[in-house]
Amino acid sequence: MGRLFGTDGVRGVANADLTAELALGLSVAAAHVLGDAGAFEGHRPVAVVGRDPRASGEFLEAAVIAGLASSGVDVLRVGVLPTPAVAYLTGALGADLGVMLSASHNPMPDNGIKFLARGGHKLADEIEDAIEEQYRSHAADGSWQRPTGAAVGRVRSYDEGFDQYIAHLVAVLPNRLDGLRVVIDGAHGAAARISPEAFARAGAEVVHTLGAEPDGLNINDGVGSTHIEKLRTAVLDHRADLGLAHDGDADRCLAVDAGGNEVDGDQILAILAIGMREAGTLRKNTVVGTVMSNLGFKLAMERESIDLVQTAVGDRYVLESMKENGYSLGGEQSGHVILLDHATTGDGTLTGLMLAARVAATKQPLADLASVMTRLPQVLINVKGVDRSRVRSSEELAAAVAAAEAELGSTGRVLLRPSGTEPLVRVMVEAAEAGQAQAVAERLADAVRTHLG
């Protein structure tokens, strides 16, 4: 059995890879690891537990709550809320840990468990390793010490979290959104109710919503940040100023301008970086991106005299760099944007609100703001059904990458990496011309299939 924790918690097909037994066992293990580390010393521990609307989240939530309560942890069940809302409430309520059940942008059959430390921050790798070791050591024989009587955890619903989180979002905005016409795609996920309500309270007119009727089975199904075609059409049909698309757990946000053109995470970061620099809130005059950031983003930041730090792919690595170095803005091309002054993780609703606030404050169309950077043609191919563990050890694949890099020269680049959250290998090629980027990417994808298949 491989490592359970990936770059974003534990994920897999619900009731196959991610079972109720695993969810319960990991929750008991987390309680013991954090308790042994002294996190609960001197008080009854409290956990905030939330989920996205997936049908499997219902039984997995029950398993997590059972595991925590059986370990003496009191549980506040906040129900269906975005991941950043659970993170915020974990900090705001002074809870000892938070748990979010979601597989983000993954298809409905998948689900995941993400543990959050006190304050709503992601757990350190060594804590995740300790939880996994504790689980493997004790889950099979049930040899954990368990409290009895009044020492068992108590469980109650915390319905106030919905309004508490929205109030926080609206309070941190630099200006209201009065006069803006907005379309919102909630991906039939955790943002389906939250995001339209937050925009309305901030003064925007939400002229249309998509992906706003979750039934447990339709999350990310043809909607959301991975399927923005319907959002483009809706923005044009309703003559909106902009459209915003979230993913299943609402830690991402992509946008569409009034002309139906996509505004990706790199462009959003560029717009926010310039606005924050003007407001004096861009700490150390630096924005954090990843190695997947478009070269056009890097060039735009150079023109604006804003420093860019690039990390490995994954919002956890962006966040680590931000926390270690005191930066206030970072994110990924996929729409994970972290505004560390107001959130401990990527927050799609907050990102959308801040982007809209910039449009409202400048009175410039989103397209004009996004034109600060020119996206170089970039092709991403996800290659499934291959052994992603051999990406870095295959000499044949390394030779294919070297040949591609030699062909592109200084006008482009290649990035080939195993996904940290899905069983596939990602091939990314950037070039001055779209046709060349496509051809090189397809050639490398074929090489991955040949040598890793």
State pTM to two decimals. 0.89
Alpha-carbon distance of 65 to 80, in angstroms, equals: 14
Alpha-carbon distance of 145 to 127, in angstroms, equals: 20
- Does the pLDDT value for residue 264 go beyond 70? yes
For residue 227, give the amino acid letter: H
- Does the pLDDT value for residue 111 go beyond 90? yes
Domain regions of the chain by residue span: 10-159, 164-370, 378-452
pLDDT, residue 21, reads 95
pLDDT, residue 421, reads 66
b/e string for 97-134 if b means 16 or more Cβ within 10 A? Answer: bbbbbbbbbbebbbbbbbbbbbebbbbeeebbebbbeb
Phi then psi for residue 179, to 5 deg, are 95, -15
Among 115-119, 420-424, 444-448, name the one with the lowest average pLDDT: 420-424
pLDDT, residue 417, reads 87
pLDDT, residue 387, reads 86
Q: Is 249 annotated as a binding residue?
A: yes
| Three-class DSSP labels, 148-186 | CHHHCCCEEECCCHHHHHHHHHHHCCCCCCCCCEEEEEC
Distance set, CA 279 to CA 282, 283, 293, 393 (Å) = 8, 11, 24, 47
Q: What angle do CA 274, 316, 264 make, to 5 degrees?
A: 40
Residue 70 pLDDT class (50, 70, 90 cuts): very high
Q: Is 410 annotated as a binding residue?
A: no
Residue 64 pLDDT class (50, 70, 90 cuts): very high
- Does the pLDDT value for residue 1 go beyond 60? no
Which CATH number does 10-159 carry? Answer: 3.40.120.10
Q: Which of 307, 308, 310, 304 is nearest to 292 (CA)?
A: 310
pLDDT, residue 309, reads 97
pLDDT, residue 232, reads 98
Q: Is 71 annotated as a binding residue?
A: no
Strand, helix or coil for residue 204 = coil
pLDDT, residue 2, reads 66
Length of the chain: 453
Let me know if 328 is a catalytic residue: no
pLDDT, residue 321, reads 97
Active-site choice (27, 104, 195, 321): 104
| 378-452 matches 10-159 in CATH topology | no
Tell me if the domain spanning 164-370 has CATH number 3.40.120.10. Answer: yes
In this prediction, what percent of the chain has a pLDDT beyond 90?
Answer: 83
Q: Would you say 430 and 437 are in contact if contact means Cβ atoms under 8 Å apart?
A: yes
Q: Is 251 annotated as a binding residue?
A: yes
pLDDT, residue 153, reads 97
pLDDT, residue 316, reads 84
CA dihedral 364→433→315→225, nearest 10 degrees, is 60
Domain 378-452: give its CATH superfamily.
Answer: Alpha-D-phosphohexomutase, C-terminal domain (3.30.310.50)
